[in-house]
Amino acid sequence: MPNIIFDCDGVLADTELHGHLPAFNQTFAEFGLPLEWSREEYGVKLQIGGGKERMASDLTPEFCAAHGHPGEEARAELIAQLHKRKSALFQERARAGELPPRPGIRRVITAALAEGWTVAVASTSAEASVRAVLEHAVGEEQAARCHVFAGDIVAHKKPAPDIYLLVLDDLALDPAECVVVEDSAIGCRAAVAAGLTTVVTTSAFTADEDFTGAARVLAHLGDPDEPIPPTPEAGDFGGRYVELADLRRLIADQKE
């Protein structure tokens, strides 16, 4: 039986631009920190896996000491507090319906669950944030049937393959029977390194990234009323939408 694993941010919903970025900036403002990431700056930050790690790239020991948080212990506590507040703000947006699911997400997950596929979500975001996005995307009943792997549960975040290796091990899945849906270069690298067939659905920040190793690069999974735009990368998926039979075919092709 095939299995499907989704990244969360940029895959289930286009969360980075409309969810995470404003939540980060609101958090910085609430804590009185002179930081406000622009869209361009945040695009660069997305090359770093994990929200705390992105904040840490600007919250250097020198920056924290200059703003009343000297020493590594105080710095770590500040980053933890910031991340907790940022996650709460993000979840508020998700539950308020401000982060609609991307085309095809509800349809493909519903169909996969109906056919008995194992469905999982693997993300470096906080688990509560991932569950909020997933529940809004597919409904609480369907979300409860999906396995969620999120947060600080592996030693190395994407582009390391650790999160996907954990999913495979924990759910006893054969990598040769799995397909991953990712949206970023670091996510694609992580999935490919884990030996998984990978479909990329590009998001607001990732359209121009390098997706070497991906089986297909698509604008999104598509729906009957919103087909996939025809592009050279989309190949025979252009002008229609992804179905489970297509994913089975991609998995089979990777075995050859």
- Residues belonging to the active site: 7, 9
Q: Under a CB-based contact definition with an 8 Å cutoff, are residues 3 and 177 in contact?
A: yes
- Cα–Cα nearest to 37, from 197, 46, 164: 46
Kindly report the length of the chain: 256
Bridge partners (DSSP) of residue 9 are 13
CA distance 197 to 249: 11
CA dist., res. 106 & res. 232, Å (int): 26
29, 22 Cβ separation under 8 angstroms: no
Phi, psi (5° rounding) for residue 38?
Answer: -80, 170
